[in-house]
Structure 1
Amino acid sequence: MPEGKIIKALSGFYYVKSNDKIIQCRGRGVFRKHNITPLVGDNVVFTAENDREGYIMEIKERDNELVRPPIANVDQAILIFSAKDPEFSPNLLDRFLVIIESNHIEPIIVITKIDLTNDEELQNIKRYAEIYQKIGYEVLLTSSITGDGLEAIYPYLKNKISVVAGQSGVGKSSLLNALHSDLKLETKAISKHLGRGRHTTRHVELIEIGDGLVADTPGFSSLDFIDIESDELTYYFPEMKERFADCKFRGCLHDKEPKCAIKEAVENGEIEQFRYNHYLMFLKEILQRKPRY
């Protein structure tokens, strides 16, 4: 049977690209029975009576998967955050980074709309960019309007499957339109009443941009640490992970324990206070999470 990759999921149909053809497929009933949902990015085996319609018969083993946005086999996540309108949120960025790190996906931070900032605001954004770069993350400052920084994105896309994710209204679709002028993805202005973006992307789809595949995804504004345990959280803060072995007590959560290397690094300015504060906030959420049965 032929094999291919799901490049779009919409209204119960899965569009499978095999060679140069795209076949509209449905999933087998056994998937629903076993609570399995095919995802964009899945490598699948399918059967087709013609060159237009078919059924997905098997889903190949996944390298990784995300819940929100629902996508599999991602090489890297391009996290889009705006410098302004909506305001840059380090807290939300750190939430994204933890989720991406926990799925062993390489994150790239892209800050858009730098054209909207004044000198003071731009310097503040650059300060955050330097902090995240020092931790080890790639950070790019861009504008879809002026084109600043866009050329620097293309090398990261080459031969990769990238998921583009971020808060609603930060300019994900505008950025993709700027990178690929033929896309003409729908964009909308920020809601002044709500103070956040309106959803313009309603499904996940892999799009050919540069020499890679990029997934445009529905925007969202919150993330839950459903599959992360309290003793794992440290590993998803790189600057804490590298100091974890220096803590006096095994299984240190870097909260109330004495002689904690992480807390000492915060006091010495080696770890940013805001990052540690976010860690404590996320840890509290995980500890207060209702147990799953």
Structure 2
Amino acid sequence: MPEGKIIKALSGFYYVLDGKQIIQCRGRGVFRHNKVNPLVGDYIVYQAENHTDGYLLEVKERTNELVRPPIANVDQAILVFSAVEPEFSTTLLDRFLVAIEDNEIEPIICISKMDLISEQQRETLNQYMEDYRKIGYEVVATSSITSAGLEVLLPYLEGKTSVFAGQSGVGKSSLLNAINPELDIETNQISSHLGRGKHTTRHVELLPIGSGLVADTPGFSSLEFLDIELERLAYCFPEIYKYGEQCKFRGCLHDKEPKCAVKQAVESGDIPNYRYKHYQQIFEEIKDRKPRY
């Protein structure tokens, strides 16, 4: 049986990439019965009489899966955050990073709209970028208007399945259009009243960029941590996990425990204070969440 990869799901149809051809398929009723929900990014087995009349037969095992955006088998996440319009937020960036780290997906931080900032804003941003680079994250500063940084970003996309994620209005679609104008993805301006963008991308779709595939995903501005356990949270903050290995007590959660190496590293400036503050905020969210049955 032929195999392929779902690159788009829309109105009950799945568009499967097999080599250079795209086959339009429907899901079998057995998927619904077994509560299997095919996702963009899934590797599947299908049968088809022609290019518009195929059926999915099997969904292969996934290496990972995201809920928002709904996509599977992602190699890396390009987390797009604008320098301004909307304002750069380490709080939101760290929430995205935790969600991506928990799914064991490689994150790359992309700061967009660098052409719009003042010198003072640039100094502040440069400090944030340096902080994240010290932690070990790849950080790329870009502009879809001037094309600055695109030559740095493009090699990361080659040969991989990447998801562009970030809140609405940060310029994900504009960046992709700047990288490949043939994509011609719809974009909208920021709402001056709301201070955020409109949701121009309404479904998840994998688009060809060089030898890679990129998902331009619907923007969103909040993340819930429904599945992360308290003990795992530190793994999602690489620098906290690193210093946590030096804590006196095994299983230290870096909250109220004495002789905590993480809190000492925050006091000495080795861990940025805002990163630890965000760790505490998410820690409390997880601790206070209601159990699911």
Normalised-by-shorter TM-score class: over 0.9
How far did 1:269 drift? 0.6
User: Which residues of 2 match residues 252-271 of structure 1 at below 5 A?
Assistant: 252-271=252-271
**Greater CA drift, 97-106 or 46-55:** 46-55
Structure 1 match to 2:104: 104
Q: Distance in 2 between matches of 1:256 and 1:242?
A: 18
Q: Which amino acid aligns with 2:196?
A: R
Q: Distance in 2 between matches of 1:190 and 1:251?
A: 45
Q: Distance in 2 between matches of 1:53 and 1:126?
A: 52
Helix, strand or coil for the counterpart of 1:267? Answer: helix
With the length of structure 2 as denominator, give the TM-score of the two structures.
0.98
Q: Which amino acid aligns with 1:77?
A: A
Unpaired segments ≥5 residues, structure 2: none
How far did 1:21 drift? 1.4
How far did 1:272 drift? 0.4
User: Which residues of 2 match residues 196-275 of structure 1 at below 5 A?
Assistant: 196-275=196-275
**Greater CA drift, 244-253 or 132-141:** 244-253
Q: Which amino acid aligns with 2:287?
A: L
Unpaired segments ≥5 residues, structure 1: none
Structure 2 match to 1:20: 20
Helix, strand or coil for the counterpart of 2:24? Answer: strand
Q: Distance in 1 between matches of 2:167 and 2:61?
A: 29
Helix, strand or coil for the counterpart of 1:155? Answer: helix
Helix, strand or coil for the counterpart of 2:150? Answer: coil
Structure 1 match to 2:168: 168
Structure 2 match to 1:82: 82
How far did 1:222 drift? 0.6
User: Which residues of 2 match residues 113-132 of structure 1 at below 5 A?
Assistant: 113-132=113-132
Helix, strand or coil for the counterpart of 2:128? Answer: helix
How far did 1:51 drift? 2.6
Q: Which amino acid aligns with 1:238?
A: P
Helix, strand or coil for the counterpart of 2:31? Answer: helix
Q: Which amino acid aligns with 2:270?
A: E
Q: Distance in 1 between matches of 2:233 and 2:62?
A: 23
Helix, strand or coil for the counterpart of 1:191? Answer: coil
How far did 1:224 drift? 0.8
Structure 2 match to 1:71: 71
Helix, strand or coil for the counterpart of 2:4? Answer: strand
Coordinate RMSD, CA, aligned:
0.8
Q: Distance in 1 between matches of 2:275 and 2:267?
A: 13
Helix, strand or coil for the counterpart of 2:152? Answer: coil
Q: Distance in 2 between matches of 1:255 and 1:163?
A: 33
Q: Distance in 1 between matches of 2:11 and 2:216?
A: 17
Q: Which amino acid aligns with 1:87?
A: E
Whose helix fraction is larger, Structure 1's or Structure 2's?
2
**Greater CA drift, 45-54 or 117-126:** 45-54
How far did 1:207 drift? 0.7
Q: Distance in 2 between matches of 1:84 and 1:168?
A: 13
**Greater CA drift, 3-12 or 275-284:** 3-12
Which string of whole-angstrom CA distances, capped at 9 and with x for unpartnered residues, describes residues 162-190 of structure 1? 00000100000000000001111111011
Structure 2 match to 1:58: 58
Q: Distance in 1 between matches of 2:115 and 2:151?
A: 16
**Greater CA drift, 235-244 or 245-254:** 245-254
Q: Distance in 2 between matches of 1:174 and 1:50?
A: 35
With the length of structure 1 as denominator, give the TM-score of the two structures.
0.98
Helix, strand or coil for the counterpart of 1:232? Answer: helix
Structure 2 match to 1:159: 159
Q: Which amino acid aligns with 2:31?
A: F
Q: Distance in 2 between matches of 1:88 and 1:200?
A: 20
Which string of whole-angstrom CA distances, capped at 9 and with x for unpartnered residues, describes residues 104-127 of structure 1? 110000000011101001111111
Q: Distance in 2 between matches of 1:35 and 1:88?
A: 39
Structure 2 match to 1:183: 183
Q: Distance in 1 between matches of 2:33 and 2:260?
A: 48
Helix, strand or coil for the counterpart of 1:231? Answer: helix
How far did 1:250 drift? 2.0
Helix, strand or coil for the counterpart of 1:275? Answer: helix
Q: Which amino acid aligns with 1:228?
A: I
Which string of whole-angstrom CA distances, capped at 9 and with x for unpartnered residues, describes residues 19-38 of structure 1? 22111111111211222210
Structure 2 match to 1:9: 9
Which string of whole-angstrom CA distances, capped at 9 and with x for unpartnered residues, describes residues 6-26 of structure 1? 000111111001122111111
% identical equivalent positions: 66
Q: Distance in 1 between matches of 2:249 and 2:27?
A: 50
Q: Which amino acid aligns with 1:14?
A: Y
